[in-house]
Structure 1
Amino acid sequence: MQYRDNLKQKMRNIALAGALAMVLSGAAFASPQDDLRAAVEYNRPVLVQKYVAQGVDPNLNTRDGTPLLVDALKDKNVEVAEALMRAKGIDFERTNAAGENALMMAAYQGLLPIVKLMVETYDVEVNKTGWTALHYAATNGYDDIVKYLIDHAAYIDAESPNATTPLMMAAMGGHITTVKLLLDEGADMNLRNQQKMDVIDFAKRYHQDEIAAGLESRRRKLAEQGAKPAPAQTPAAPTAAVPAAQAGKSAAPDVPTPMPPAKPAAAAPRSPDTVGTPTNMLFDSNR
């Protein structure tokens, strides 16, 4: 019996040694590219900086095909993102499968300092065909980013693949101050997407009754003043095709489907002078 127990213990030790050897062998043969991917995944900015300095390509994708910079921003790993942005040859225009680039992801996550860094230091373009950073900032009601992008030449009536605008996305998310901001900056409330929905239709479909009432009040006031609706502006770039995720769903407006649902309106920055303002006054037009 003792002999049998000793034999089992020896075989167990051999098996453990073999497994350890395999692990160590795998670690020994890990490529520098895999090391960089792991550093990004596990939020290790010092290691990211080290591998990039050694010449590892910062434009690598994760195993699921997402550019490392976009992936870092999706997880709000700001220091990792900054390390990648400082890398020589970083391509800010690389996108994931959903067409989302680094600026769009930073705008969606509310990372204003990163948005500023990209635009002011690295001259990242704020406009693109299809979904834009302005759409993504409006979706989550980040007024500070919306204003910043507009001030830096973002096309305010940018059209998604089915012609949905940032104003429509803000209304859908219930972000009343964002809607007001976009209107005051010149967004056209009379535009319609390919489903013939305007911003009021969006507000009603997504049960944003206060916003719908305010928009109707604004439209009535403009009509009383004899103001004609502004003509629809031509998009800065041709509209992209409807994404594969939206194929067969023409009855509903397209939204950034790869992203999680928009955050509650409470997450949006609120201006203290608009809190408690009656809806019909909030949406009055002085233009």
Structure 2
Amino acid sequence: MSFTSARPEDLLIDAARRGDVPYLQQLLADGTVDVNVQNGKGFTALIVAAYDDQVEATKALLAAGADPNVQDVSGNSALMGVSFKGYPEVARLLIQHGADLNQQNGNGGTALMFATLFGRHNIVPILLEAGADTTIRDVRGLSARDLAVQQGNEEALKLLPQE
């Protein structure tokens, strides 16, 4: 059984997932839905668009005032999702629009930690060049460098400074 909601917030998030920029713009122009509205998991349209590498939808949402620092129920932001997935163009867009490089999720993880942990070598330099703090530690006391050592991530170790 398939269920499609007609609630404006659900339509906005679904349009973001599909990358349907004209529909996103229409929904936002109608003024019936807040660009930063969250669903039950705390996802915003921006989080979903970024996570699904919908570059044009991400641009449209940011232009409409989407907050790149909203966190889902686990404390993950759009930049953290992009760092997990490895989407450099979206990462740059988020950073240009004020994404907090050092924001931590519920476990203390940062975007840099996600990129390091999951071997996203195309994201690590972007975060470092933008000024990501390499000394932040998660709830286990591990830094991005510690995670790189743990994962045997030699590429990240070349980029991360010694602590």
- TM over 0.5, shorter chain: yes
Measure the CA separation in 1 of the matches of 2:54 and 2:112.
21
Measure the CA separation in 1 of the matches of 2:14 and 2:131.
37
Identity of counterpart residues, as a percentage? Answer: 27
The CA deviation string for residues 96-139 of structure 1, in whole angstroms up to 9 with x for no partner, is 1221111111122111122212222x122211242111111111
Alignment of structure 1 residues 137-286 onto 2, 5 Å: 137-182=115-160, 186-188=161-163
The CA deviation string for residues 14-65 of structure 1, in whole angstroms up to 9 with x for no partner, is xxxxxxxxx9xx98xx343332233234442221122122222111123433
* Alignment-derived partner of residue 81 in structure 2: 105
- Which of the residues 93, 96, 112 maps onto 2:69? 93
- Which of the residues 47, 51, 56 maps onto 2:27? 51
TM-score (structure 1 length as normaliser):
0.49
Does residue 79 of the first structure (1) align with residue 56 of the second (2)?
Answer: yes
Q: Name structure 2 gaps, 5 residues minimum.
A: none
TM-score (structure 2 length as normaliser):
0.82
Alignment check: 8 A CA contact 1:62 1:68 kept: no
Alignment check: 8 A CA contact 2:117 2:151 kept: yes
Measure the CA separation in 2 of the matches of 1:44 and 1:142.
27
How far apart are residue 95 of structure 1 and its match?
0.7
- The number of residue pairs the alignment matches comes to 157
Q: Name structure 1 gaps, 5 residues minimum.
A: 1-22, 189-287
Alignment check: 8 A CA contact 1:134 1:146 kept: yes
The CA deviation string for residues 240-282 of structure 1, in whole angstroms up to 9 with x for no partner, is xxxxxxxxxxxxxxxxxxxxxxxxxxxxxxxxxxxxxxxxxxx
- Which of the residues 33, 43, 56 maps onto 2:9? 33
* Alignment-derived partner of residue 60 in structure 1: 37
* Alignment-derived partner of residue 3 in structure 1: none
Measure the CA separation in 1 of the matches of 2:19 and 2:40.
16
Find runs of 4+ consecutive structure 1 residues off by over 4 angstroms: none
* Alignment-derived partner of residue 236 in structure 1: none
Does residue 119 of the first structure (1) align with residue 95 of the second (2)?
Answer: yes
Instruction: Give the greater-gyration-radius structure (CA).
Output: 1
Measure the CA separation in 1 of the matches of 2:10 and 2:103.
31
